[in-house]
Amino acid sequence: MQIKFQPHYFISPKIANDLVRIEAVKQKILHLPLTPTVLSSLRETARLYTTHYSTMIEGNRLGPDQVEEVLKHQGHFPGRERDEREVKGYYAALAQVEQWAAQGTSVKEKMIQTLHALVMAGGKEKAKPTVYRDGQNVIRDARTKAIVYMPPEAKDVKPLMNGLVNWIDKNLNLPCPLVAGIAHYQFATIHPYYDGNGRTARLLTTLILHLGEYDLKGLYSLEEYYARNLEAYYEAISIGESHNYYMGRAGADITKWIEYFIEGMAVSFENVLKRMDEAKVQGFSDQSASLRKLDPKQRKALELFQEFETLSSQQIGELFGFKPRTSAALCARWTKDGFLTMTNSSNKGRKYKLAAKYQTLINQKQPRQMDKVQPNKPRANKP
């Protein structure tokens, strides 16, 4: 059985205005003068902060510098092993989101289950898609322990999730930020797992936005917007006349949540422009024109060639989650198009490197004056 999902909302003047803000910033970011080195640095900083803020919302105690130490340098903080597993899991799930986005894969239930599995696996390479909860759970106030929300019964979770995924697939004609915001709300409403629902909801949001080409080069973090005022986040998503799913929330008007979500996207997008200015990349040749001639997968591959001079088709394919035959065909096409050159033609040892005209795109060193942009610490609000 499938339960049809039909959200109730209206496009208020605020939502319309903030959608315009998002589109304006999106166009500006697409034409920013960037080098692959600077872009890669800023993107990695955004990944780290996204991981920090999303896990911090759930009570993770690691600060931004500690998150980076754990993820990039195998750092360890005694007594905070659970926090370390949480950031490793979220970072791994975020990498999977980017891989699916690069493939252009449409959202499927198994993908959502895989994201949850990665979130809960603590950074392990393989995670089997997790099944939905088989019993009732409740959300309680962290201070008073009072029930603030009782999700639908376990028997309804599967058809509700099926209805959500079908709704996403059939409403791609709507503005992508609108689809992402509604999907976030509905996933949180269904609450299909005993734990990890918030993190998985935010990852699903990110996946939808990336697939809809609202990835903004991977430079923004909606999670930071949520974390700076958790009370506003929980207030916006707590909609309905009752704490019981069946007594108001299922058919509630979610305009208030959508206004909050769309404003958050606008603010997050505008912050990217500010941080680009703070990055101080003046004095480096603008390579935007050359970058725009490349397709998205080629631009993504540039990041890999910043680490390795030569690569096998398997290494390139792993970046996108491709099977060997697809990877080989991609490299053959890129060689024919002049993006790659073959350095070893033997079948077993075949390697590729960037063509000379594209190698210059990654030869510039990262500007010394570009420091990581440290965000203001969010208020320690607890739901």
pLDDT, one tens digit per residue, over 21-40 is 999 998 887 776 666 666 77
Neighbouring-strand partners of residue 244: 150
Would residue 8 count as lying in a domain? Answer: no
Domain match, 69 and 198 both: yes
Domain match, 103 and 153 both: yes
**Domain termination residue (choose one: 279, 312, 328):** 279
| Both tokens assigned to 61 | 């105690």
Domain match, 169 and 65 both: yes
Confidence tier at 19 by pLDDT (50, 70, 90) = very high
Per DSSP, the three-state class of 361 is: helix
Confidence tier at 266 by pLDDT (50, 70, 90) = very high
Would residue 377 count as lying in a domain? Answer: no
Q: Is residue 74 packed enough to be buried (19+ CB in 10 Å), middle (13-18) or exposed (0-12)?
A: exposed
Chain centroid, CA 346 distance in Å: 38
Domain match, 129 and 238 both: yes
pLDDT for residue 27: 87
**Least reliable range by pLDDT among 167-181, 283-297, 357-371:** 357-371
pLDDT tens readout for residues 215-232: 887 788 889 899 888 889
Q: What are phi and psi of 267, to 5 degrees?
A: -65, -45
CATH number of the domain that residue 326 is part of:
1.10.10.10
Report whether 350 contacts 261 (CB < 8 A).
no
Domain match, 251 and 300 both: no
Report whether 138 contacts 152 (CB < 8 A).
no
Domain match, 355 and 206 both: no
Kindly tell me if the per-residue pLDDT of 323 is higher than 50: yes
Would residue 383 count as lying in a domain? Answer: no
pLDDT for residue 292: 65
Kindly tell me if the per-residue pLDDT of 198 is higher than 60: yes
**Degrees, nearest 5: CA angle 50-52-53:** 70
Domain match, 134 and 101 both: yes
Q: Give the count of domains, the chain.
A: 2
What is the pTM for the complete model shown?
A: 0.78
Note the residue count of the chain.
383
Residue 279 is given by DSSP the state H
Residue 21: how many other CB atoms lie within 10 Å: 16
- The CA-atom distances, in angstroms, between 68 and each of 50, 59, 84, 87, 122 are 11, 17, 11, 9, 15
pLDDT tens readout for residues 168-180: 999 989 999 999 9
Would residue 140 count as lying in a domain? Answer: yes
Would residue 216 count as lying in a domain? Answer: yes
**E-state strands within the chain:** 139-140, 147-149, 340-344, 351-354
Percent of the chain with pLDDT over 70: 87
* Domain span holding position 319: 294-362
Give the pairing of strands 340-344 and 147-149. unpaired
Domain match, 135 and 263 both: yes
Kindly tell me if the per-residue pLDDT of 196 is higher than 90: yes
Per DSSP, the three-state class of 234 is: helix
Average pLDDT, the chain: 85
pLDDT tens readout for residues 68-113: 999 988 889 999 999 999 999 999 999 899 889 888 889 999 999 9
pLDDT for residue 102: 81
Would residue 138 count as lying in a domain? Answer: yes
Single out the residue of 56, 79, 57, 78 nearest to residue 67, CA to CA. Answer: 56
pLDDT for residue 215: 86
Domain match, 314 and 261 both: no
Domain match, 275 and 302 both: no
Domain match, 301 and 242 both: no
**Domain termination residue (choose one: 247, 279, 311):** 279
Would residue 141 count as lying in a domain? Answer: yes
CATH number of the domain that residue 53 is part of:
1.10.3290.10
**Least reliable range by pLDDT among 27-36, 94-103, 304-313, 359-368:** 359-368
Domain match, 252 and 175 both: yes
Q: What are phi and psi of 341, to 5 degrees?
A: -130, 145
Would residue 371 count as lying in a domain? Answer: no
